Structure 1
Amino acid sequence: MGSYRVCVCFTRKFKSDALSPPGDVKDLFNKYSESGGQMTVRNLHRFLVEVQGQTDATEKDAEHVLEVLRQRRHMSVFQRHSLNLDGFFHFLFSDDLNPVIDSKVHHDMTAPLSHYFIYTGHNSYLTGNQLSSDCSDAPIIKALNRGVRVIELDIWPNSAKDDVLVLHGRTLTSPVEFIKCIRSIKEHAFVASQYPVIITLEDHLTRDLQAKAAETITKTFGELLYYPKSEVLEEFPSPESLKGRIIISTKPPKEYLETKTTELQGDGDKEKLKTPDEEPWGDDIPDYGPDVPNERESADPAGPIEEDSGDDEGISQVNPDKDVAPEYKRLITIRAGKPKGVSLKDSIRVDGKQVKRVSLSEPQLQKVARSHPTHVVRFTHNNFLRIYPKGTRIDSSNYNPLLAWTHGAQMVAFNMQGYGRQLWLVHGFFRANGGCGYVKKPDFLLPNGSENDDQHIFDPKAPRPVKTTLKVKIYMGDGWNQEFKKTHFDTYSPPDFYTRVGIAGVPADTIMKRTRAIEDDWFPCWNEEFVFPLTVPELAVLRVEVHEYDMSEKDDFGGQTCVPVAELKSGIRTIPLCNKKGEKYKSVRLLVRIDFY
């Protein structure tokens, strides 16, 4: 029973307990410690293997834990080779010593690029909305430092100086110099990851400016730039072979001849606009299913293919093939796009040995996924599929990425400059594989030798049995009193925290649950367990959010994180929480237990 004090303004009592271990931690300490109440190196090693599932752990790993605690001058390490209960609890509640996922690259990185999901940005140069914000290299730098591997630049002529600018064409966005963006990409490309950076160009240049852009790219990147010797590329290189390299992806210039002539149309322009922040922390993750409005009806049930653009390409100024700058064309490694008028189904057909990239808007993906799901999956076995936000997302909001990932789309392009649950989900998904920006697709989304047999192609719409069951126990939380200095929430009392925990995945797996609210406590102890049956655990993401209950206003935000289920470590683990922008808090964290059945 904790001590209490009474505020002069209210009769409500405040608990002021210090953080103490939950019952499960005490029980495990007693089980794995000596009779004198000390856990030796050998005991800790047994715990790591038997409870934490670290079958490859050694006694040196256990010794390392004690050494780090000693270096931190943790008073609970009383002896050189043992821990008391407080020391054991401190170890479990340290996200660096006891992380919930691995921090190292561990996927096979020698397969073709098309076998990976890639951390992809959309209109990477915009600082805010799609119509009137500034264009800058700052959001490009921020994205690269986070680990984003695909940067999109829209390049347009600067008629005043016969130069190249980056801007969102036919809008009020202020431009930034192309050379500035390219130099920033070079400087920051490999800060967060050594795996290749792909630059997708939306090209609106004349022949002369194409040549100038090619010269800028070649001189700036030098030997970092990769492009194939032959125009016919039968298989993409691997991320491992392209470490430290930069790749250009765009349409062969002749395919810009037939483009859209209207702005912000074709992506649900009749849909009512909505802001991404209906709640203080952003919209919830939308589900996806078969009942998607059929926008832009056509004779083909899957609808017409749109141009390969972010949303608002406009009329191209590119001339026929004879006017295309050859030095520009040869730099294109991942060739993309199809002329206007070709059906969605035909646009993603597997066409001989020439690998390619096709871009679809989110409504187009919904259409073709509804009509030809296995056709989409087959295409992505060896070719790139890029999905981009619909044109009505002028506020730079985002969409549910699970439909795209479930169909094998490698480049799910997201606006990185905002926040909200969809963006949190993408950030969390790419925490996998050490956060290197490349996540190997599960085997069922890769070629299996039966490319012409639909029965052996993964069908995202097919019902599936439960493959595994995830059990998550939320023990407690800590760090808000340090992070917010008791000023972020109600001025007159400690917060009433509750936790939302759930799964974002295929529709059968998607669910959200919550704990009860713990009143007046900076150190909430919930001790609540949740069970999640999963049919496709390979694509599932664990979602965790903490909020402070407010009976008179909207609940206050207390932290969030998303973690790929396939990467979760079993046992008692620490989950650090992030702010709305996806930046990790210094001290806010949860203690949880993870089990798979």
Structure 2
Amino acid sequence: MSKQTYRVCWCFRRRFKVRETEPPADIKELFCRYSENDIMTAEQLQRFMAEVQGDDKVTKEEAEAAVDATIKELKHLPIFHRRLLNLEAFFRYLMSDYNPPLPFPPKVMHDMDAPLAHYFIYTGHNSYLTGNQISSDCSVVPIIESLKRGVRVIELDMWPNSTKDDIDIVHGGTLTAPVKLNKCLEAIKTHAFVASEYPVILTLEDHLTPDLQAKVAKMVTETFGDVLYCSESEAMIDFPSPESLKKRIVVSTKPPKEYLDTAKSMKGNDEDSVKMKTASEDDPWGVEFSDTLEKPMPLDKDHKDEEFHYEEESVKHNLEPEYKQLIAIQAKKLKGGVKDWLHDDPTAAKRISLRETRLDKAIENHATDVIKFTQRNLLRVFPKGSRVDSSNYNPLIGWTHGAQMVAFNMQTHGRSLWLMQGMFRANGGCGYVKKPDFFLKNGPEDKIFDPKNTLPVKKTLKVKIYIGDGWHLDFKETHFDIYSPPDFYVKVGIAGVQADSVMKKTKILQDDWTPKWEEDFEFPLMVPELALLRVEVHEYDMTEKDDFGGQTCLPVFELRSGIRAVPLHDQKGDKYKSVKLLMRFDFV
């Protein structure tokens, strides 16, 4: 147990007084190097920010603003001069919100003028569900929450209501309670551009009669008005860019088809859909998947993905022209084998959807074909039907093969969703992340990127974990006992292509609210453009499962070098008010 003072409470329990955090040795040494007579000026801080932090474009005015903000927060410090830092203030600056690991303030940094197919897009699955896929309620609340978090693709399943004169949003053939389509559309209109100005794509799963399709067309056009994007031509050689679609709503679905009643549509839809399965992702810890990719599941030859089950029905009715005009991004049906699915029609860009198991099957022998397809066309990947608990899969399987729309259940939490949140912290959190250039190059087969190939190390990420702080301030949110200092350790590693993926951990520090690890780690990276830095804090428990202490996931390709204050998040991905790690990042 660390040496700390305590007092006796009325309940006779020891209440530990958290000791004042002492800066790590590296911080003291840097302060001495960049200060004079134990005082650091704004000019000296500017030099530190340029030489150590790699912020070579930082201005004197920005350094002065950082000093002013730090002094303002440390009111107990004697103010001997304006814009001067002592060691404590310098340390507090390093631990502050003004020194984050990603570009600050957050802003869009990627080229947004390329076609939509050149971006990873923050994508939801069954966006209206509040819980599991079988018996939870349908509501506008999860749609609103997703949009507030920056999700750019919202999925709605449209079915006739019980009287067949209106449209419900519901997971068909289940016990889920429906919500009206008009409520969902209004919620989307209100919240679509709260977190990002870039386009919101509505993927509509359509189980409607032609007359209800006409009703949908009227509701959508009246709700969104000029915000709705309608393509001038039925076929586009390339999709528009996110920049050209700013503050626009884009509809993507299949062309109108023959109506099938619920019983026929759901019959044999998914052999796993009625099996309640407890997936490990439902556990707060999720599953570890960094060592290997998920093993593909065998598919019965007659088994169809739910989306394709509807797509392969023939069109016999007269099509409603108003409804058809809504569809800016057409979802195409699958025919034949993998090569046929991935055929690139040079006259028209398209979108196809693959269940996660179908993607696994496709990339076994056709990985480069998948990547070539995604150079112009959109590939959506969605969870297999047996994930009735609304768990998720490893999104990197899709991303490392160029899939733009890796569709996730946003209402659950676990490591898969943490990776999703981490990826889309990039590019200012706008919901669109430009794919690496190697996905977009044409060339001979042996030149097309394949994530399974062994490549030379492009760069090495060096990580040092100094200290953690803030749990004693957020103990109500983190659920630790204020009377019992935790035994913390950190897990840190990479999620990316299989060769880069690894996890390591620090030593356990006992009875310490402000643990000081000062441990170094190195991560050689073959494909840093797809790497995500995973950080998790746990409290060791000898008798039970280790307790959760916070997590974050950061895109390596936007990580700022130098000493940074890394804010930690809870299991849902919400940022704690005070909990942070002080870490150093260097690329060699």
- Counterpart contact for 1:204–1:318, Cα < 8 Å: no
Q: Distance in 1 between matches of 2:499 and 2:490?
A: 22
Q: Distance in 2 between matches of 1:289 and 1:394?
A: 21
Q: TM-score scaled to structure 1, two decimals? A: 0.92
1:301 aligned residue: none
Instruction: Report whether the alignment pairs 1:441 with 2:432.
Output: no
1:278 Cα deviation (Å)?
6.5
Aligned pairs (5 A) from 1:32-43: 32-34=34-36, 36-43=37-44
Q: Deviations over 1:215-253 (max 9, x none)?
A: 000000000000111111111111111110000000112
Q: Distance in 2 between matches of 1:278 and 1:227?
A: 39
1:49 aligned residue: 50
1:148 aligned residue: 151
1:138 aligned residue: 141
1:323 aligned residue: 318
1:18 Cα deviation (Å)?
1.2
1:21 aligned residue: 23
* Structure 2: runs of 5+ lacking an equivalent: none
Matched length? 582
SS at 1:345 equivalent: helix
SS at 1:372 equivalent: helix
1:308 aligned residue: 307
1:271 Cα deviation (Å)?
9.4
Counterpart among 95, 98, 110 of residue 93 in structure 1: 95
Q: Distance in 2 between matches of 1:316 and 1:192?
A: 33
Aligned pairs (5 A) from 1:523-538: 523-538=514-529
Instruction: Report whether the alignment pairs 1:296 with 2:297.
Output: no
Instruction: Report whether the alignment pairs 1:240 with 2:231.
Output: no
Counterpart among 232, 235, 242 of residue 229 in structure 1: 232
1:580 aligned residue: 571
Aligned pairs (5 A) from 1:481-496: 481-484=472-475, 488-490=479-481, 492-496=483-487
1:101 Cα deviation (Å)?
3.9
Using the TM superposition, name which of 585-594 and 10-19 deviates more: 10-19
- Counterpart contact for 2:475–2:482, Cα < 8 Å: no
Counterpart among 194, 197, 201 of residue 191 in structure 1: 194
- Counterpart contact for 2:117–2:374, Cα < 8 Å: yes
- Counterpart contact for 1:344–1:364, Cα < 8 Å: no
Counterpart among 302, 327, 334 of residue 332 in structure 1: 327
Instruction: Report whether the alignment pairs 1:116 with 2:119.
Output: yes
- Counterpart contact for 1:249–1:334, Cα < 8 Å: yes
Q: Deviations over 1:484-510 (max 9, x none)?
A: 159823465211111111111111111
With over 3 angstroms needed to count, the CA separation of the structure-2 counterparts of 1:584 and 1:320, relative to structure 1, is same
Using the TM superposition, name which of 322-331 and 137-146 deviates more: 322-331
Q: Deviations over 1:394-450 (max 9, x none)?
A: 00000001110011000000000010110111011100000000000000011x243
Identity level (%) = 56
- Counterpart contact for 1:498–1:517, Cα < 8 Å: yes
Q: Distance in 2 between matches of 1:101 and 1:11?
A: 44
Instruction: Report whether the alignment pairs 1:564 with 2:555.
Output: yes
Using the TM superposition, name which of 565-574 and 157-166 deviates more: 157-166
Instruction: Report whether the alignment pairs 1:466 with 2:430.
Output: no
Q: TM-score scaled to structure 2, two decimals? A: 0.93
With over 3 angstroms needed to count, the CA separation of the structure-2 counterparts of 1:46 and 1:358, relative to structure 1, is same
- Counterpart contact for 1:305–1:343, Cα < 8 Å: no
1:283 Cα deviation (Å)?
2.5
SS at 2:472 equivalent: helix
Matched residue type, 1:158? N
RMSD of the TM alignment (CA)?
Answer: 2.7
- Counterpart contact for 1:336–1:357, Cα < 8 Å: yes
2:448 aligned residue: 457
2:185 aligned residue: 182
Counterpart among 421, 425, 431 of residue 415 in structure 2: 421
With over 3 angstroms needed to count, the CA separation of the structure-2 counterparts of 1:4 and 1:71, relative to structure 1, is closer
1:290 Cα deviation (Å)?
8.6
Q: Distance in 1 between matches of 2:274 and 2:233?
A: 44
1:297 Cα deviation (Å)?
4.8
1:107 Cα deviation (Å)?
0.4
Aligned pairs (5 A) from 1:329-478: 329-339=324-334, 341-446=335-440, 448-450=441-443, 453-478=444-469
Q: Distance in 2 between matches of 1:485 and 1:247?
A: 42
1:265 aligned residue: 270
With over 3 angstroms needed to count, the CA separation of the structure-2 counterparts of 1:342 and 1:316, relative to structure 1, is closer
Q: Distance in 2 between matches of 1:18 and 1:531?
A: 30
Matched residue type, 2:519? E
1:572 Cα deviation (Å)?
0.2
- Counterpart contact for 1:287–1:400, Cα < 8 Å: no
Q: Deviations over 1:329-372 (max 9, x none)?
A: 01101101214x52232111112320000100001000111110
Q: Distance in 1 between matches of 2:401 and 2:166?
A: 40
1:67 aligned residue: 68
Q: Distance in 1 between matches of 2:65 and 2:32?
A: 22
Instruction: Report whether the alignment pairs 1:551 with 2:542.
Output: yes
Counterpart among 130, 147, 172 of residue 175 in structure 2: 172
* Structure 1: runs of 5+ lacking an equivalent: 299-303
Q: Distance in 2 between matches of 1:569 and 1:127?
A: 36
